[in-house]
A and B are shown apart, each in its own frame.
Chain A
Amino acid sequence: MVTYLDHAATTPMLPEAIEAMTAELGKLGNPSSLHAPGRRARRAVEESREIIAAAFNARPSEVIFTAGGTEADNLAVKGIYWTRRAADPRRDRVLVSAIEHHAVLDAVHWLADHEGARVDLIPVDERGLIDPAALGEMIGPDVALVTAMWANNEVGTVQPVAALAAAAEGVPLHTDAVQAAGQLDVDFAASGAVALSLSGHKLGGPPGVGALLLAKGVDPVPVLHGGGQERDVRSGTLATAAIVGFATAVQIMAERRAAESARLAGLRDALIAAIRREVPDAILNGDPADRLPGNVHFSFPGCEGDSLLMLLDARGIACSTGSACSAGVSQPSHVLLAMGADGDRARGSLRFSLGHTSTEADVTALAQAIGPVVERARRAGLS
């Protein structure tokens, strides 16, 4: 029996989504084909598009299906940069929050390295909150794009997206809402953002599918070239079954969101209290109140995050140290460093993230394990 506290990495697929997706896998048709089987598949895709649009207050035509959150981020960041710069060559600056996911941050750095973009990081405060006033001072006619996430994937801090959009003064704002979409009320039309990234497997759908919500009139230069299936912005045969599974999860999530978010926030606060009780010197990272309902993130002074993770794993508790890199060596989190944490505090941190299968038993299991685990990790120290 695993205590799964890593829903921010991926959350179990909802049974209804598995059922809908499995049923669709047995059916025939390419949604781009003109015959009856094609029309049947097209209908499944378009119904899914409408469900997703409704859940996030977007128009169906604003939903661009992608292969996941990373592709959505890359399409928004690179595509909008290219379009804006093509329209006016002076626009070569990208303003990016210092705490973005690597799918955004690395895409922006790629633009700097290969496309001559100038990159400025929008600072955050010690809670991980992006400052709209700072963005307001940085904005100018040379800015091609602003990108700032809806809620941070590591420390869970919820961002003032509407205020950031206002501070952007008409410069297109992209927001990565991959972590927020399953737990917060994400309203695309009201947000002021022109592009918003979603991922299927973070909210109970399958991995390998996501979407970019893209306001009418925003036409990023494509990253993938081919059949132009999605508004001529994204090419590739649509993955009908994955899209159906994604939409099913979105619909159920939208129906249950209010009650589920309140339930998760209760578990989250119980988990925070339990960790503070067992490890009094643990430091809660992120905003104490305005954070994702499922996010708990602590630094444990004197401990290596990797040691804590391994010791908890050995006790059947799955959590995360933050962002892992290719060889499996964790680097100090750029998010915590941007929040002003020192290297040791950044390295000695763990994220516990809750989701739709989380229960009080998970909180109890961690509360029982964390004290001895921290004590042992402290003996091993910081290598």
Chain B
Amino acid sequence: MSGGVDSAVAAARAAEAGHDVTGVHLALSRNPQSYRTGARGCCTLEDSRDARRAADVIGIPFYVWDLAERFDRDVVQDFVAEYAAGRTPNPCLRCNEKIKFSALLDRARALGFDAVCTGHYARLSDGVLRRSVDPDKDQSYVLAVCTPEQLAHAMFPLGDSTKAAVRAEAARRGLQVADKPDSHDVCFIADGDTQAFLAERLGSAPGPIVDTDGQVVGEHQGAHGYTVGQRKGLRIGRPAPDGRPRYVLDISPVTNTVTVGPREALDVREIVGERPVWLAPPPDGPLECRVQLRAHGEVYDCTAVLDGAVLRIDLHAAARGVAPGQAAVLYAGERVLGSVTIAAAERAAV
């Protein structure tokens, strides 16, 4: 129970359905100064109190479990290391994979619980994971990294509801968090300034910004400050010869180089994914399906082919701004088939 409205209603529904429910709030920081003071995310002392109060109203026991060390190691340090390696991680996804449905689930099961119930917006029944009925809130993307074993011990009671319905239900149940604003940004970056957070941990490492011909067009203060597809904040003095805006195409931590180019150079037709997780039987041939490349991102028709340990995804239409480190999640209609971590994106010929 994060202290937000979704997990509160999920807990209430699970309790009402007759389950023996215990509320758990995860303490994810041992250092309230950096994560908690003024944090806009989901780990503040106020959130802990809100969660406790919601559990009181629902009438279930409530405890705070300290998973700060695991969170720091598996999510925060991973986040920093991924940026240092030139990739763009999604920490919410990693938190589901390593904390909520791993550290938390393992401990809960050892203590005698059967499942972890969360306020995620996704439908799960008989091992089949599907999108939420509320397309704006759908969180199947960030759950798709979970294995069938993990999902066998998961419950998402909100999958059939819209956010508006959940808020109305919270108000009806007398939960004070009914109109609490949604959390945004990365929860462990208190002020929301990801660049400053990374700069503090990775330091500054000036290097060249080059164009697709290898021509140096500017200098950066650290390649970790850039994301593929980024346009703003490049601070390149000279305009491009054709006068058109330039975008980050590639980040190479080895040479500490950021490559920029025109918008169409971002077009990607083929993606190589690693660490596949299957929530449907793995394909034994070319798989015609759809793929989503970031949270709340567009969905593309594609053909996916398993090639040893990697999955090659041919996009039927070009996608733009595909960042290594993000997940590519395969769907058949609303059903999640599986996911891979994007290792490389082959740009279409410019």
Tell me the bound Cα distance from A376 to B61 in angstroms: 19
B111 at the interface (CB under 8 A from A): yes
Of A306, A313, A328, most B-chain CB atoms within 10 Å: A328
| B59-88 at interface with A (beta carbon < 8 Å) | 61, 63-70
Q: Is the CB of B64 within 8 A of A327?
A: yes
Q: Is the CB of B64 within 8 A of A383?
A: no
What is the minimal beta-carbon distance from A334 to any residue of chain B, in angstroms?
15
Q: Is the CB of A306 within 8 A of B61?
A: no
Enumerate chain A residues within 8 angstroms of B32, measured Cβ to Cβ: 327
What is the minimal beta-carbon distance from A350 to any residue of chain B, in angstroms?
15
Tell me the bound Cα distance from A328 to B64 in angstroms: 6
Q: Is the CB of A329 within 8 A of B111?
A: no
Q: Is the CB of A376 within 8 A of B112?
A: yes
Q: Is the CB of B61 within 8 A of A313?
A: yes
- Chain B contributes a number of interface residues (CB within 8 A of A) equal to 22
Q: Is the CB of A314 within 8 A of B61?
A: yes
A307 at the interface (CB under 8 A from B): yes
B27 at the interface (CB under 8 A from A): yes
Enumerate chain A residues within 8 angstroms of B68, measured Cβ to Cβ: 329
Tell me whether A379 and B64 are in contact in the complex, defined as CB-CB below 8 angstroms, given that A328-B25, A328-B48, A328-B52 are known contacts.
no
Question: Given A306, A314, A327, A383, which contacts B48 in the complex, CB threshold below 8 Å?
Answer: A327
Q: Is the CB of B111 within 8 A of A383?
A: no
Q: 1/0 contact trace for B1-42 toward A, CB 8 Å? A: 000000000000000000000100101000010000000000
B180 at the interface (CB under 8 A from A): no
What is the minimal beta-carbon distance from B110 to any residue of chain A, in angstroms?
4
B51 nearest in chain A by CB position = A328
| A366-383 at interface with B (beta carbon < 8 Å) | 376-377, 379-381, 383
Q: Is the CB of A329 within 8 A of B22?
A: no
A-B Cβ contacts below 8 A, count: 50
Enumerate chain A residues within 8 angstroms of B277, measured Cβ to Cβ: none
B107 at the interface (CB under 8 A from A): yes
A20 at the interface (CB under 8 A from B): no
What is the minimal beta-carbon distance from A354 to any residue of chain B, in angstroms?
24
Q: Is the CB of B22 within 8 A of A310?
A: yes
B45 at the interface (CB under 8 A from A): yes
Q: Is the CB of A306 within 8 A of B65?
A: yes
B344 at the interface (CB under 8 A from A): no
Q: 1/0 contact trace for A68-90 toward B, CB 8 Å? A: 00000000000000000000000
Enumerate chain B residues within 8 angstroms of A307, measured Cβ to Cβ: 107, 111
What is the minimal beta-carbon distance from B252 to any residue of chain A, in angstroms?
38
Q: Is the CB of B110 within 8 A of A376?
A: yes
Enumerate chain A residues within 8 angstroms of B63, measured Cβ to Cβ: 306, 310, 328
Tell me the bound Cα distance from A376 to B109 in angstroms: 10
B103 at the interface (CB under 8 A from A): yes
Enumerate chain B residues within 8 angstroms of A310, measured Cβ to Cβ: 22, 61, 63, 111
Tell me the bound Cα distance from A381 to B66 in angstroms: 13
Tell me whether A383 and B25 are in contact in the complex, defined as CB-CB below 8 angstroms, given that A328-B48, A328-B63 are known contacts.
no
Q: Is the CB of A381 within 8 A of B110?
A: yes
B20 nearest in chain A by CB position = A314
Enumerate chain A residues within 8 angstroms of B22, measured Cβ to Cβ: 310, 314
Q: Is the CB of B61 within 8 A of A329?
A: no
Q: 1/0 contact trace for A282-314 toward B, CB 8 Å? A: 000000000000000000000000110011011
Enumerate chain B residues within 8 angstroms of A326, measured Cβ to Cβ: 45
Tell me the bound Cα distance from A306 to B69 in angstroms: 16
Tell me the bound Cα distance from A330 to B106 in angstroms: 20
Q: Is the CB of A327 within 8 A of B70?
A: no
Question: Given B52, B61, B103, B112, which contacts A383 in the complex, CB threshold below 8 Å?
Answer: B103
Of A310, A311, A326, most B-chain CB atoms within 10 Å: A310
Tell me the bound Cα distance from A330 to B30 in angstroms: 11
Q: Is the CB of B111 within 8 A of A306?
A: no
Tell me the bound Cα distance from A326 to B36 in angstroms: 12
Q: 1/0 contact trace for A343-370 toward B, CB 8 Å? A: 0000000000000000000000000000
Tell me the bound Cα distance from A380 to B108 in angstroms: 8
Provide 10 A-B residue pairs closer than 8 Å at the C-beta atoms, listed in order of the A residue. A306-B66, A310-B22, A313-B61, A326-B45, A327-B27, A328-B64, A329-B27, A329-B64, A329-B68, A376-B111
Extra A-B contacts (15), CB below 8 Å, given A311-B112, A327-B48: A306-B65, A307-B111, A311-B111, A314-B22, A314-B61, A326-B45, A327-B27, A327-B32, A328-B25, A329-B64, A383-B65, A383-B66, A383-B70, A383-B103, A383-B107
**10 nearest A-B pairs in the assembled complex, by CB-CB distance:** A380-B110, A328-B64, A329-B27, A379-B110, A329-B66, A327-B48, A380-B111, A380-B107, A329-B64, A310-B63
